[in-house]
A and B are shown apart, each in its own frame.
Chain A
């Protein structure tokens, strides 16, 4: 059982939690993730390690309630417990030796990109962040991101905050303005990662994307997370989740992520309707 030490709502759909997991906190590196299972009846769901504090023994997760598992988790409070919390999984990002990086996040993807930006910044790189959101009311982590970069550019699709437009437009204009990036990291919805990679390919800039296929074990034993990279099948949980954006078959990833769409939609609607799932978790109610 893992204690929820603190909880903060970042916007209507996105929640930040600090989980007590001292062994994971000691080892966690940027780019790695955990898998949680809320209770006996729950699914195993991967979430990026957004931050960790070895001294406090805590791991921070930031997640968007999109389906049953994340919805139920968002209903838990500080002092409650999560049944299973496994990690750190996946390969840490290799972020040393870069001079000028552009880190691009889309929506909740900003939470996943944040630790990479922080590590690049700590390694001495100049870091520009382009944080894309649909609209003003869902902007998250603005202060946190500001603290770990040299320039923060916020874009919104509807222009209600920051600049109006897509992150790819902003990236192009920054490159055209003479910024010589030696690394671009793009994390967010699959189409966004796909289009960022298309842009950087024209400019021959190394680009890392973080893939989010459906997972079970996170240790390489099921192959459910397989993705095609450079024409080869790779297991995202052990060979990734970060890959070279110019080699990833994004279209296949989008298809595979819809594997259980119909079933999951029904469950999500059920969860929203009754406010919580069939399972009870011990802890403070």
Chain B
């Protein structure tokens, strides 16, 4: 089939920005089969496959794209899931522009092949057309406990279930999915996709127990000793929100992004049928420049705020959010106040936010992260007229499991220490995802879950072999 020489990606169909910023339906509606084939034909099928190196889980990218050109969509899906168990999620939320697509040869002159959009297309096609649920593997009689049902826990569970393990996931919240359900909004990742993935795991025999805060109701030691799990995987994420430590942060109308997004996404405050309250804001300042900040800002707009500002202390070039999210936010009339930093939040006599004092910044010398350090410009302070402030400056791992599991080592930020294979300082206890790396990405969390699943399999086989030797 002839190569499509267009320098641009086939455009992604999307809801009109000024319509979608008032609803919670998905922003982009996805390629049609014709669009997918046309875009797939832009791939040069390079021998060297630079894109694959850019992918943290080494998806067989040229191969699956080639299958799309042949309209073998189900085969393309099977090809992707050889290494990626959540393509419908990753196709939507991976930072492709800094991973696979960053290495694409087509990107040298023109735009890279739309690998993410193609991945999403294939996964959605499969979801609509798959005829049978996944099968349950023959059980091998060994039990593994997984703490946390985010992408890392889910992918670890999937691989272990395929290998015949009896897997139980313990989730603190009332719904499985981790950040995929409580953090990333419906308009970017429909929750039906996450619940489909979880239903698939259930069909494979995985037992998901919600409302179970490990470290409280059961400890890691009790899982291993009393409940006879052969191994434990900790995929508990990095859910502890950081605050700025400035004056006025406890005023009414100041939220952590975690709280704001949880109220809206998990507790569905945007849906009148649900009892969850959320502030009816007029003007909102979101502090931060990552995906979390973009999601909070776009949610605030959808909940009816007239003005929504992103207050970020560096510039667009340093912004850690996915490029597409920044562009979508701009289209939805989110105003970017870059090179500005909050000084204090101002309240009225009822303790309600009525403004935020901000100072302008400029970029100085590069810091340890290699990014240019923002420095305040003295005397440039001014007051931003807002009634709500959402703090999205980062999260760290929750200390509960460290506090309740003796011998589980962490670094000074509370990230669990692991070897490359995911083994922690405690025998039989493995960990991965944000709990180990600090807040990172879905694909890295998923990759860590897969690596740990292989290590857990090896660990249990080894233990069994050692046991049978001593028995002889």
A residues sitting closer than 8 Å to B (CB atoms) are 23-24, 27, 37, 41-44, 68-69, 83-89, 216-224, 226, 228, 233, 238, 252, 255-256, 258-260, 263-264, 267, 277-279
In the complex, the answer to whether B262 meets A217 with C-beta atoms within 8 Å is yes
- 1/0 contact trace for B196-215 toward A, CB 8 Å? 00000000000000111100
B interface majority secondary structure: loop
Query: Least Cβ distance of A225 to chain B in Å?
Result: 9
Which residues of chain A are within 8 angstroms of B274 by Cβ–Cβ distance?
Answer: 41
User: Would you give the 0/1 interface string for B305-329, flagging 1 where the beta carbon is closer than 8 Å to chain A?
Assistant: 0000000000000000000000000
Beyond A221-B240, A221-B398, A228-B250, whether A24 also contacts B275 by CB under 8 A is no
CB interface residues, B 390-424, toward A, < 8 Å: 398-400
Of A42, A44, A220, which is within 8 A of B239 by CB?
Answer: A220
Taking a contact as CB atoms closer than 8 A, the residue among B217, B277, B400 that contacts A24 in the complex is B217
Q: How far is the CB of B273 from chain A (nearest CB, A)?
A: 6
A220 to B256, CA, bound (A): 11
Residue contact B211 to A223, C-beta cutoff 8 Å: no
Whether B276 pairs with A43 at a CB distance below 8 angstroms is yes
Given contacts A85-B211, A86-B172, contact A222 B277 (CB under 8 A): no
How close is B257's CB to chain A, nearest CB, in angstroms? 10
Return the chain B residue nearest A227 by Cβ: B250
The residues of B with any CB-CB pair to A shorter than 8 Å are 172-174, 210-213, 216-218, 239-241, 243, 249-250, 252, 255-256, 258-259, 262-263, 267, 273-277, 279, 350-351, 398-400
A219 touches B262 (CB 8 A): no
Nearest CB of A to B251, in Å: 8
- Choose from B174, B213, B255, B276 the contact partner of A219 (Cβ within 8 Å): B213
**Inter-subunit contact A27/B275 (CB<8 Å):** no
The answer to whether A221 and B217 touch (CB under 8 A), given A84-B211, A233-B243, A259-B252, is no
> How far apart sit A145 and B271, CA to CA, in the bound complex (Å)?
43
- B216 & A221 in contact (Cβ 8 Å cutoff): no
With the chains together, A218 CA to B259 CA distance in Å?
A: 11
Tell me how many residue pairs across A and B have CB atoms closer than 8 Å: 100
Given contacts A43-B267, A221-B398, contact A252 B351 (CB under 8 A): yes
- Say whether B241 contacts A222, CB under 8 Å: yes
In addition to A216-B259, A220-B400, A223-B243, 17 A-B residue pairs with Cβ atoms within 8 Å of each other are: A43-B267, A43-B276, A44-B174, A69-B275, A83-B174, A85-B211, A87-B216, A88-B217, A218-B213, A220-B399, A222-B241, A226-B250, A228-B250, A252-B351, A259-B277, A277-B275, A279-B273
CA A68 to CA B277, docked complex, whole Å: 11
Partner of B241, one of A41, A221, A277: A221
Query: Can you pick out 18 interface pairs between chain A and chain B where the beta carbons lie within 8 Å of each other?
Result: A27-B216, A41-B274, A44-B267, A84-B211, A87-B216, A218-B213, A219-B239, A220-B398, A222-B256, A222-B262, A224-B255, A252-B351, A259-B252, A260-B277, A263-B277, A264-B277, A278-B273, A279-B273
Interface centre among B241, B250, B274 (most CB of A within 10 A): B250
Which residue of chain A has its CB nearest to the CB of B240?
A220
If A27-B216, A43-B276, A259-B252 touch, does A86 touch B258 (CB 8 Å cutoff)?
no
Inter-chain CA distance A259–B239, complex, in Å, is 23
**Residues in chain B near residue A220, CB distance under 8 A:** 239-240, 398-400
Whole-angstrom distance between the alpha carbons of A279 and B276 in the complex? Answer: 13
Pairs of residues from A and B, 3 with the lowest C-beta to C-beta distance, nearest first: A255-B351, A222-B259, A221-B239
> Bound complex: CA of A24 vs CA of B250, how far in Å?
32
Nearest chain B CB to A63's CB is how many angstroms away?
A: 16
Select from chain A the residue with minimum beta-carbon distance to B352.
A255
A189, chain B: closest CB distance, angstroms? 18
- With A43-B275, A221-B239 as known contacts, state yes or no: A216 contacts B262, CB within 8 Å: yes
> From A84, which residue of chain B is reached at the shortest CB distance?
B174
Residues of A within 8 A of B211 (CB): 84-86
Residue ID in chain B nearest A67 by CB atoms: B275
Q: How far is the CB of A140 from chain B (nearest CB, A)?
A: 26
Picked from A86, A255, A267, the residue with its CB within 8 Å of the CB of B213 is A86
Instruction: Contact check, A224 vs B259: say whether CB atoms are below 8 A apart.
Output: yes
When chains A and B are docked, how far (Å) is the Cα of A252 from the Cα of B212? 32
> Which A residue sits closest to B252, measured CB to CB?
A259
List of A residues within 8 angstroms of B252 by Cβ? 255-256, 258-259
Chain B residues with CB under 8 A of A223: 241, 243, 255-256, 258-259
> Are A216 and B213 neighbours in the complex by a CB distance under 8 Å?
no
List the B side residues contacting A87 at CB < 8 Å. Answer: 213, 216-217
Report the bound CA distance from A44 to B174 in whole Å: 10
Residues in B whose Cβ lies below 8 Å from that of A218:
213
Which residues in B have their C-beta under 8 angstroms from that of A267? 275, 277
Q: Bound state CA distance, A233 and B276, in angstroms?
A: 25
A37 to B173 CA separation, bound complex (whole angstroms): 11
A residues in contact with B216, CB < 8 Å: 27, 87-89
Could you say which residues of chain A place their CB within 8 Å of the CB of B212?
86
In the complex, chain B residues whose CB is within 8 Å of the CB of A258:
252
Tell whether A41 pairs with B273 under 8 Å between CB atoms, given A87-B216, A216-B259: yes
Q: How far is the CA of A252 from the CA of B165 in the complex (A)?
A: 51
Bound together, the chains give a CA A84 to CA B173 distance in angstroms of 9
Chain B residue numbers with a CB within 8 Å of A260 are 277
Bound form: Cα–Cα A92–B117 in Å: 50
Q: Which residues of A contact B255 (CB under 8 A)?
A: 223-224
- Complex CA gap A84/B276 in Å reads 15
Q: How far does the alpha carbon of A128 sit from the alpha carbon of B241 in the complex, in Å?
A: 41
Q: Look across to chain A and name the residue whose beta carbon is closest to the beta carbon of B277.
A: A260
Residue of A nearest to B237 (CB): A221
